[in-house]
Structure 1
Amino acid sequence: MRQPLDSAIFLAAFTGVLYCLSTAHYHGFLTTAKLDADMMERSFHQVIYSGLIVSFGPILIFLITVSCVLFSYSHALLPGYIDWVRGSIKAKRKVVSFRRRWIGKRISALVEIRAKKTFNHFLVLSLAGVCFIVSLVYVEKKGQSQALTALGNHVEGETRSSSNISVVISSNIKVLSYLGCGAKNCAGIEKGSNRVYYFPQSTGFSFVHDVEGVTKP
């Protein structure tokens, strides 16, 4: 009965992390692009998928780094340390002296062991919380950078043809630089006037596909 509960808790926590990361990234993008959060509201599936995409790179780098560190520790540092201790009585004395200096000979009581364990758990959770907050700040800045890049390309006229969309708004065709879509509405910024338009997805839009470099398989 315990294993399904643990799996459910892990899945809920992982989903919550993805949701927070995606929301932080999207918030950074919307605030920098000055888009309305209510108009650009996303569905739950969009939020979770976006969070997975945003966190994939950092998580992969973290896993690779931790794997390299653990491999180096278990296959190089730890065996070398054990061989060093086993091969010399002087080394053993140094290790014992070091342990006595920092740990001491005193045997801790049960209540002390519990208090230390509580502190260790609190320290781990605090460090995890700090890392989580730092990651939220990091992904929010990535969203801000993405918005600045999109607006900069629009101002300098370097927007790709596939990012220029044509939308019928109030019976007029507007050529906009695509900014993004939520669950129901999309947003684009007009060239020249820099006016931002919101339009429902049901209206639809068209764009010129950039087929350069596309070859027939």
Structure 2
Amino acid sequence: MKISDSAFFLAGITAFLYCSSTAYTHGYFGVLGLDSDVLDRNFHQILYHGMIENLELIMLLPFIFICGVLFIYFYVTTLNPVLIKISEKVIKKTNLKNKRKERSEDEIKIDEKYERLLRKSLIFCFAFTVFFSIMIKNEREGRDAANNALKMLDDKSYHKVKIFKNGENLEFAFLYCGARNCAGIEPESREIIYFPQNGHSYSQPNEI
């Protein structure tokens, strides 16, 4: 593999993880009405979250690769020779063999050119479809997580966060933490509050 190919591969993986995490948080923030500028994340947080969101897919990739190699091996060693023999028989029966010999080299080159273009187009369409299908899935998961957080508010089973503000301790339901700031919501009024990461305590629902 060339260095340029490796760099392109790494850049593609990085972009995929970044977009995946962004799609998830977009869905999560959209339902809860959170401000992405206040709850900004650093680059490493985004990539790590994107990896966690697609961990099952990442674990399946080696098996998908192995299945692809086995299919190619089966095609080259078994299926392709059979298809060639069948096509030769068909050509002989329909007298197309002589016609193919009469074709010019330019015509053959044009056919090969468009065959390569067709293969690249199919690969691009497949990758395009898979990419955006995963993005839609990630955003839907973010929305589901946000709706689940709202359901926990109704069930009084939310994660509680306590902050000290204006001389008093305030309790909120925890929603999200970015690189510098966190967000909570008042269970009754559903008012969103943002606070810095330091100076607050956090408890699990079973500790409430």
Q: Is 1:201 aligned to residue 197 of structure 2?
A: yes
Rounded to whole Å, the distance in 1 between the matches of 2:187 and 2:92 is: 73
Distance in 1, matches of 2:169 and 2:147, equals 26
Q: In 1, distance between residues paired with 2:90 and 2:121? A: 27
Superposed, 1:159-178 pairs within 5 Å as 159=158, 163-178=159-174
**Relative to 1, partners in 2 of residues 1:151 and 1:63: Cα closer, same or farther, differing over 3 Å?**
farther
- Residue 110 of structure 1 is matched in structure 2 by 109
Q: What residue identity is the alignment partner of 1:199?
A: F
Give the whole-Å Cα distance in 1 for the aligned partners of 2:154 and 2:160: 13
Asked if the contact 1:169/1:199 (under 8 Å) is kept, the reply is no
Runs (4+) of structure 1 exceeding 6 A deviation are 77-82, 98-101
Are the aligned partners of 1:177 and 1:190 in contact in 2 as well (CA < 8 Å)? yes
The share of aligned pairs that are identical, in percent, is: 28
What residue is the counterpart of 1:15 in the other structure? 14
Question: What's the TM-score once normalised by structure 1's chain length?
Answer: 0.76
Q: Which secondary structure does the structure 2 equivalent of 1:109 belong to?
A: helix
2:1 is equivalent to residue 5 of structure 1: no
Distance 2:33 2:10 in 1: 34
Q: Secondary structure at the match of 2:35?
A: coil
Q: Provide the rounded CA distance (Å) in 2 between the counterparts of 1:100 and 1:158.
A: 75
Residue 181 of structure 1 and its aligned partner are, at CA, apart by: 0.7
Comparing 59-68 with 28-37, which one deviates more in the overlay? 59-68
Whole-Å Cα distance in 2 between the matches of residues 46 and 170 of structure 1?
31
* 1:84-99 mapped onto 2 (5 Å cutoff): 94=86, 96-97=88-89
Matches within 5 A, 1:202-217: 202=198, 204-208=199-203
Q: How many residues align?
A: 198
Q: Which runs of 5+ in 1 are unaligned?
A: 86-90, 213-217
Contact 1:190–1:196 (CA under 8 A) maintained in structure 2: yes
Taking the aligned partners of 1:127 and 1:183, their CA distance within structure 2 comes to: 35
1:215 aligned residue: none
Paired position in structure 2 for 1:186: 182
Structure 2 equivalent of residue 129 of structure 1: 128
Q: Aligned AA for 1:5?
A: S
The CA deviation at 1:184 is 1.5
Instruction: Tell me how far apart the structure 2 counterparts of residues 179 and 70 of structure 1 sit (CA, whole Å).
Output: 44
- Aligned partners of 1:175 and 1:191 also within 8 Å: no
**8 Å contact 2:160–2:204 — kept in the other structure?**
no
For the residues of structure 1 that align with 2:114 and 2:79, how far apart are their CA atoms?
A: 31
